[in-house]
Structure 1
């Protein structure tokens, strides 16, 4: 063999600090309990850099429908109203169980 084959690196994709923080905040907002109560408090972790924290908080503050409260301990509380779809009444359909034919 006179030709060398190219080898692609098989390294893992590592997420950036902003992506990690964004995923954490997104998971907290989308958590079923947070969706029911329509608020969540986000605490800044030691691993959250200044630039990442400021960028994520900046995006949240520019998002319509989210009220941000900056707490004394450095955490941030997000509150939001129910969307029009969430206000729709839920239709409940009851199944009638039929007796077994045997």
Structure 2
């Protein structure tokens, strides 16, 4: 009897945008960033400027997040934690 081949596909590799998001998420989730509720982030050379701008636009849409663009191209990302009802 022949074995049936699995028709499930291997998961697609993450996109450059997803990899950038994962990198920044690790920075944001660090204990120091969580304590300060702020972090300075920068685009890395291998990351596209379009992905960087998309990320900043999407993050900036959140009510509890503030972005401060700095002269060196980095961004100070700060947030507040809303009070629970």
TM-score by length of 1: 0.68
Q: In angstroms, what is the RMSD of aligned CA positions?
A: 2.4
Q: After superposition, what is the alpha-carbon deviation per residue over 1:7-55, rounded to whole angstroms, capped at 9, x for unaligned?
A: 86x8674211110111111111111110001100001100110111111
Cα distance in 1 between the residues matched to 2:23 and 2:82: 22
Radius of gyration: which is bigger? 1
Distance 1:20 1:68 in 2: 21
Distance, in Å, in 1 between the alignment partners of 2:62 and 2:24 is 14
User: Secondary structure of the residue that 1:79 maps to in structure 2?
Assistant: strand
User: Tell me, which stretches of 5 or more residues in structure 2 are unaligned?
Assistant: none
For residues 19-98 of structure 1, the aligned pairs below 5 Å read 19-84=18-83
TM-score with structure 2 setting the length: 0.80
Pairs aligned (count):
84
Call closer, same or farther: CA 1:83–1:15 in 2, change over 3 Å.
same
Cα separation, 2, equivalents of 1:68 and 1:12: 33
